[in-house]
Amino acid sequence: MIFPATTAYYAALLALLYLGLAGWVMAGRLSGNVLHGDGDSDDLQKRIRSHANFGEYVPLAIILIGLLEARGTSHGTVQALLIALLLGRILHPVGMFAPPNSPRQFACRGGGILLTFGTMLIAAVLLLL
């Protein structure tokens, strides 16, 4: 078994991004004086969902990719999956604040979701092969 050093590096970058999203939620709570929930604020609800969406998908994606790396999958494949995941997770919150049905919403939110799901799908299939 190989230590998944590349996955560990990207996991650290993603952890920093996750903390940034958490700080973004806290800043929204402080500015809106909201201790619990979203205070019926669209802005805060989008921040909360961006943070939660990250927490829902990234842990499993990192595990899948880490298992691929530990199994000896090529560095290029592992790196490509991790870059796609990181890019997807950066794009998603940007798209959450785009005007509805705008090109930016489709490119960023939709692109972020597709990159995240695509990464997980490819990693899962590669693990099964």
Average pLDDT over the chain, rounded to whole? 96
DSSP state, residue 1: -
Closest CA to 51 of 14, 21, 11: 21
Percent of the chain predicted with pLDDT > 70: 100
pLDDT digit string, tens, across residues 43-96: 999 999 999 999 999 999 999 999 999 999 999 999 999 999 999 999 999 999
Amino acid at 96: M
Half-sphere exposure of 20 (CA within 13 A, CB side): 9
- Give the pLDDT confidence score for residue 93 in this predicted structure: 94
Mutual orientation of helices 75-96 and 111-128 as an angle, nearest 10°? 150
What would the two tokens of residue 114 be?
């597709």
For residue 1, pLDDT over 80 is answered with: no
- Give the pLDDT confidence score for residue 2 in this predicted structure: 86
- Give the pLDDT confidence score for residue 11 in this predicted structure: 98
State the burial class of residue 31 (Cβ atoms within 10 Å of its Cβ: 0-12, 13-18, 19+). Answer: exposed
Q: How many residues does the chain have?
A: 129
For residue 35, pLDDT over 90 is answered with: no
pLDDT (mean) for 18-36:
94
